[in-house]
């Protein structure tokens, strides 16, 4: 028992360590997870999942995959698919069967597999792995339309590919004499309908219960977890793996509801999914055995090449004819199709069942699947970002800043950022506040920054920082709290002086973001300084004019906002990082005119401070 506890702890630690290391090195996390599992399993033999965890191993894998697919469904909002709905339908309904057919033919004629194994393998490889595509999309920063296309295909195709494999296996059992032929089609259709109804019904029940307050906040996530597992298990009683379809439908229905707590639920589920994905990849890779690995030969290599370079491209290019996609988007979708946990889990299940039924090459199906998974993760993981850049489908590579609030001060700041070649967008719900920004040629967003429309149309992924700069300090704090989970708590900044007020009037430290200026400057103070001639100034540090010389030369009241490093990254003065501007950095500051009457300025500042204290 102690050894199992140690191994479970190792799986968790290795998975999260691989995720962190991938973030630091800017590598696809799945590559490092595969490496960790390979070292823990086939290389050292430290973890042997089937032996270590016995009968609970396969059911636990299935339940974890169900939670992952449900979380994926929670990310699919129909608002995102308006421009790609036709393409997604064609890829699922036409591209999937074409991939199944092509992979089955290649498995038999190129891979040398029996027809039964080749057909089931072809069905499994219809899936494109949300557990892999999600981290890749997060790091590649694609434009919204191709990113939405790949995400929807991955999540919708996973349960469909698994069901294709189930149907193929059931037909195989009929030919083997294990099942009666009559009623097979009826049972499959019945199980399919039950999965749809179970997923929709449970989602609708939870939405009703959550909105009406029949479930307290602290129980919403536990109730959701239990419901997902119950729907998955109940659907699988009718037909193996049909539970994957049920939980995916359940997630999509809840994603398109209007529950106030949906954001918190989605963030918590995403955290759990990261843990599960990390652990599952390590476990499934560790489950590989050397005989299975050695069974890979030139036939397996030929099968992988045919799948990646012929079958997938042909299927997608044919399916997307006349869908309105640009040729660049079609080409990207034709190439990017990484396989992940669902493919490996389903292949492991049916591989063992085929081997138990006496099919000689049943175990080879697992080896072929792993070969495809490893090849697609490596090739697609390292080529997605460069290919998207070449095709012009990647968002601006430079760190961008979103400014909420369209005042003259914010417009002047955005203009200076644009001059420094830093992408910037100003968002405001008042059309008149954006007039000067539009006249200056700045990118603007007209609408409420906290609205659902903004969430789907602002493309928050392209921003590395946010500055909340409206005349309402409480609203600024609310904006920072809302965008913090997406942009990063350490990358959202607000103007205002509420942090320096008394305990009775100051906001709680968990609300809002970092102060853009320290000590804080509120909207009225910034507006007065800007009207008095204060300007935004950018200064490049050189070998001759270093940081010390810059500090000595600047006005005593000048405020440094940030500096841009030679690699394009941004460091805010109030970020709390223990770094200082160096040679080659460009410093952005807000400073008074050189001939400013500092005595009058200080006098007015004292008067306004006293005024704030009185009120």
Radius of gyration of the chain, Cα coordinates, nearest whole angstrom: 28
* Mean pLDDT, residues 142-160: 83
Among 338, 363, 390, the domain boundary falls at 390
The pLDDT of residue 204 is 94
What is d(CA 192, CA 74) in angstroms, rounded to the nearest whole number? 21
How far is the first Cα of the chain from the last one, in angstroms, to the nearest whole number? Answer: 65
Most confident of 167-181, 304-318, 460-474, 501-515: 304-318
Taking residues 133-161, report their average pLDDT: 80
User: Is there a single domain that holds both residue 418 and residue 345?
Assistant: no
Whether residue 183 is contained in a domain is answered as no
Residue in the structure block whose two tokens are 């992924």: 461
pLDDT digits (tens, 9 = 90+) for 158-192: 778 877 887 888 787 777 665 555 666 777 788 88
**pLDDT at residue number 611:** 44
Distance between CA 146 and CA 245 in Å, rounded?
24
Q: Using pLDDT thresholds of 50, 70 and 90, give the confidence band for residue 510.
A: low
pLDDT at residue 52, rounded to an integer: 84
pLDDT confidence of residue 93: 87
Q: Are residues 430 and 527 in the same domain?
A: yes
| Residue 244 included in any domain | no
Least Cα distance to 88 among 129, 161, 162, 146 occurs for 146
Residues in the chain: 615
More confident residue, 269 or 318: 318
Reported confidence tier of residue 397, pLDDT bands at 50, 70, 90 = low
Would residue 211 be called left, alpha or beta, if left means φ above 0 and alpha means ψ between -120 and 50 degrees? alpha
DSSP, collapsed to helix, strand or coil, labels residue 125 as coil
Contact 42, 290 (CB under 8 A): yes
Per-residue model confidence as pLDDT tens digits over 203-250: 999 999 998 889 898 888 899 989 999 999 998 888 777 888 888 889
- Of 360, 390, 420, the one marking the end of a domain is 390
Output the pLDDT for position 284.
81
In a domain, 251, yes or no: no
* In the predicted structure, residue 255 carries a pLDDT above the cut 60: yes
pLDDT at 320 over 70: yes
One domain, residues 141 and 38: yes
Asked if residue 604 belongs to a domain, the reply is yes
With 0-12 / 13-18 / 19 or more C-beta atoms within 10 angstroms meaning exposed / middle / buried, residue 1 is: exposed
What is this structure's pTM? 0.72
Q: Which strands form 514-515's sheet, in the order they lie side by side?
A: 443-446, 424-428, 400-404, 463-468, 492-494, 514-515
What's the token pair of residue 367? 């080896």
Distance separating alpha carbons of residues 384 and 398, to the nearest angstrom: 18
Return the structure tokens found at 358: 């006496």
Q: Look at residue 353 and tell me whether its pLDDT is greater than 80.
A: no
- Separation CA 152–CA 82 (nearest Å): 12
* Same domain assignment for residues 385 and 446: no
- The answer on pLDDT for 22 being more than 90 is no
Q: Both 172 and 148 in a single domain?
A: yes
- Among the residues of 402-472, which ranges form H helices? 408-419, 435-439, 452-457
Residue 196 lies in a domain: no
Cα–Cα dist 445/362, whole Å: 56
368, 390, 412 - which closes a domain: 390
- Same-domain pairing of 331 and 410: no
Mean of the per-residue pLDDT values of the chain: 83
432 and 519 in one domain? yes
385 and 404 share one domain: no
Q: What is the CATH number of the domain that holds 374?
A: 1.20.1530.20
3-state secondary structure of 220: helix
- Residue at 229 is within a domain: no
What CATH number should be reported for the domain holding residue 569?
Answer: 3.40.50.720
| Residues 124-134 pLDDT 10s | 899 887 777 87
Q: Is residue 295 included in any domain, yes or no?
A: yes
pLDDT at residue 378 tops 90: no
Contacts for 161 with CB less than 8 Å, ≥ 6 apart = 96, 123, 124, 125, 126, 127, 342, 343, 346
pLDDT at 607: 46
> Over the range 188-197, which residues count as b (16 or more CB within 10 Å of their CB) and which as e?
beebbebbbe
The whole-number pLDDT of residue 486 equals 81
Instruction: Say if residue 358's pLDDT is above 80.
Output: no
The pLDDT tens digits for 600-615 are 555 455 545 544 443 4
The conformational region for residue 464 under phi > 0 = left, psi -120 to 50 = alpha, else beta, is alpha
What's the domain range around 477? 400-614
Q: What is the DSSP string of 271-313?
A: HHHHHHHHHHHHHHHHT--HHHHHT--HHHHHHHHHIIIIIHH
Tell me, yes or no, whether 282 and 427 share the same domain. no
Q: Give the best-scoring range by mean pLDDT among 29-33, 276-280, 417-421.
A: 417-421
Lowest mean pLDDT of 72-81, 149-158, 343-352, 472-481, name the range: 72-81
Instruction: Give CA–CA dist 252/334, Å, rounded.
Output: 25
Are 378 and 468 in a shared domain? no
- The CA-atom distances, in angstroms, between 614 and each of 139, 162, 473, 518, 609 are 50, 68, 18, 22, 9
Q: Which of 497, 537, 513, 525 is nearest to 412 (CA)?
A: 537
pLDDT for position 64: 85
**Cβ–Cβ under 8 Å, residues 140 and 385:** yes
- 403-445 pLDDT, tens digit each: 999 899 999 999 999 999 899 999 998 999 999 999 999 999 9
DSSP symbol at 519: S
pLDDT at 153 over 80: yes
Burial (Cβ within 10 Å: 0-12, 13-18, ≥19) of residue 101: middle
Residue 350 forms part of a structural domain = yes
Q: Based on the domain organization, do 298 and 413 belong to the same domain?
A: no
Per the CB < 8 A criterion, the answer to whether 368 and 121 are in contact is yes
Is there a contact between 551 and 379 (Cβ–Cβ < 8 Å)?
no
| Least trusted range by pLDDT, from 90-99, 349-358, 581-590 | 349-358
The count of domains in the chain is 2
Based on the fold, state whether residues 352 and 424 are members of the same structural domain. no
Nearest 5°: phi and psi at 220? -65, -50
């Amino acid at each position: 028992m102690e050894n199992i506890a140690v191994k479970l702890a190792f799986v968790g630690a290795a998975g999260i360590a691989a995720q962190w290391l991938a973030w630091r090195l800017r590598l696809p996390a799945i590559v490092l997870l595969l490496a960790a599992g390979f070292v823990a399993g086939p290389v050292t033999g430290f973890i042997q999942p089937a032996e270590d965890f016995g009968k609970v191993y396969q059911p636990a894998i299935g339940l974890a995959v169900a939670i992952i697919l449900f979380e994926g469904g929670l990310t699919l909002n129909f608002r995102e698919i308006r421009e790609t709905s036709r393409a997604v339908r064609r890829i699922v309904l036409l591209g999937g069967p074409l991939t199944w057919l092509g992979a089955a033919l290649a498995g038999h004629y190129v891979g040398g597999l029996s027809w039964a194994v080749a057909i089931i393998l072809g069905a499994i490889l219809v899936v494109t792995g949300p557990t892999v595509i999600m981290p890749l999309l997060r790091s590649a920063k694609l434009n919204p339309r191709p990113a939405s296309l790949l995400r929807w295909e991955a999540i919708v195709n996973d349960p469909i590919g698994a069901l294709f494999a189930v149907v193929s296996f059931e037909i195989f059992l009929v030919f083997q004499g294990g099942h009666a032929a009559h009623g097979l089609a009826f049972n499959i259709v019945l199980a399919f309908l039950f999965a749809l109804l179970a997923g929709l019904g449970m989602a609708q029940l939870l939405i009703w219960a959550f909105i009406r307050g029949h479930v307290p906040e602290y129980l919403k996530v536990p109730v959701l977890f239990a419901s997902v597992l119950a729907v998955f298990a109940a659907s699988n009683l009718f037909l193996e793996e049909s539970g994957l379809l049920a939980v995916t439908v359940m997630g999509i229905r809840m994603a398109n509801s209007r529950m106030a707590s949906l954001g918190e639920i989605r963030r918590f589920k995403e955290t759990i999914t990261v843990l599960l994905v990390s652990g599952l990849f390590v476990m499934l890779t560790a489950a590989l055995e050397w005989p299975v690995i050695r069974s890979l030969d030139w036939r397996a290599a030929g099968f992988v090449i045919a799948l990646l370079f012929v079958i997938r491209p042909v299927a997608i290019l044919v399916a997307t004819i006349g869908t309105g996609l640009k040729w660049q988007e079609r080409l990207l979708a034709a190439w990017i199709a990484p396989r992940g946990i669902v493919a490996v889990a389903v292949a492991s299940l049916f591989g063992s069942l085929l081997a138990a039924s006496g099919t000689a090459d049943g175990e080879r199906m697992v080896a072929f699947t792993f070969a495809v998974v490893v090849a697609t993760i490596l090739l697609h993981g390292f080529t997605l970002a460069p290919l998207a850049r070449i095709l012009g489908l990647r968002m601006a590579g430079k760190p961008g800043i979103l400014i909420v609030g369209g005042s003259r001060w914010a417009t002047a700041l955005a203009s200076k950022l644009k001059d420094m070649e830093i992408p910037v967008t100003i968002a405001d719900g008042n059309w008149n506040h954006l007039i000067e920004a539009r006249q200056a040629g700045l990118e603007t967003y007209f609408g409420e920054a906290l609205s659902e429309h903004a969430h789907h149309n602002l493309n928050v992924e392209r921003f590395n920082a946010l500055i909340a700069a409206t005349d309402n300090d409480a609203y600024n704090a609310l904006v920072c709290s809302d965008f913090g989970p997406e942009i990063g708590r350490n990358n959202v900044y607000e103007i205002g002086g509420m942090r320096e007020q008394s305990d009775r009037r100051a906001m709680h430290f968990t609300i809002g973001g970092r102060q853009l200026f320290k000590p804080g400057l509120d909207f009225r103070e910034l507006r007065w300084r800007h009207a008095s001639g204060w300007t935004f100034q950018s200064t490049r540090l050189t070998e001759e004019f270093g940081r010390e010389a810059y500090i000595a030369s600047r006005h005593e009241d000048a405020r440094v906002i940030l500096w841009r490093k030679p690699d394009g990254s941004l460091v805010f003065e109030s970020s709390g990082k223990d770094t200082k501007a160096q040679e080659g950095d460009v410093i952005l500051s807000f400073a008074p005119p050189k001939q400013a009457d500092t005595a009058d300025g200080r006098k007015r500042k004292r008067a306004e401070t006293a005024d704030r204290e009185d009120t």
